[in-house]
Structure 1
Amino acid sequence: MISFNYETDFILDREAEFTQWISSTILEEKCKIGDIDYIFCSDDYLHKLNVDFLNHDTLTDIISFDYSVGKELHGEIYISVDRVRENASEFNTAFNEEMARVIIHGVLHYCGYKDKTDAAEKEMRSKEDYYLAKRN
């Protein structure tokens, strides 16, 4: 089950459509849908998680905790609405488009895609673009 939770005033429009899009992405990647919780929060909230759990004293747009068992996906995906808004401005893209990219980025990590090397990051961006195009 995919759920959306809020630690900020932001509310995701069209949750049901996002659930369907995320679900179809997971299935197309030959994975099974388990319990995936999206938590939308502030920079401060996510920064504290980054420091406390990952020992990273930096701001970030997303942190995911992967509890998947094999191809059955489970986890918590924390998204800083503040960071997404700033990134959208920096990358000259619409906030809703940047939010969708970050949302699908988190689940693609659970599907096995990484972004720590240039080649892996290029593959991740390609997958993001592919699934963003399917959303529209």
Structure 2
Amino acid sequence: MPTLTKLYTMQEASQHNTKGNCWVVIDGKVYDVSTYLDDHPGGDDVLLDATGRDATEDFEDAGHSKTAREEMEAFCIGELDTTSLDIPELEIFSKNQPTDYPKKLVDLTKRYWAVPAAVVGISVVVAVLHLRKK
């Protein structure tokens, strides 16, 4: 008799994101790794950062061994329900929407004033040193 697999939504999985209650989604499967956080070779923060999203790419990029893949099956609690994937709403901008580019440029300049100031300062120092050598 086949075992029934529990289905979880990404929203459900993302709600389990604390050190005492941590779920991770990898390859469409949901894993409760709460009891494994302290034993994870990469540290608990790696697993905690993987909650709330599909961590398959992160898992593959880390180059886990065959043994690690076999061990993680013990933590599998179900599968991701792909029939109810949440699709984020897109923001639609009208072509007639007013844009105030000069104001945005001034705001960016005010926020990141240190970079141009550093460039000017370094240029002045280089120029003075160059003139002294002559």
Q: Does the TM-score normalized on the shorter chain lie above 0.5?
A: no
Bigger Rg over Cα: 2
Q: With structure 2 as the length reference, what TM-score do the two structures score? A: 0.22
Q: With structure 1 as the length reference, what TM-score do the two structures score? A: 0.22
Bigger relative contact order (CA 8 A; separation at least 6): 2
Q: Going by fraction, where is strand more abundant, 1 or 2? A: 1
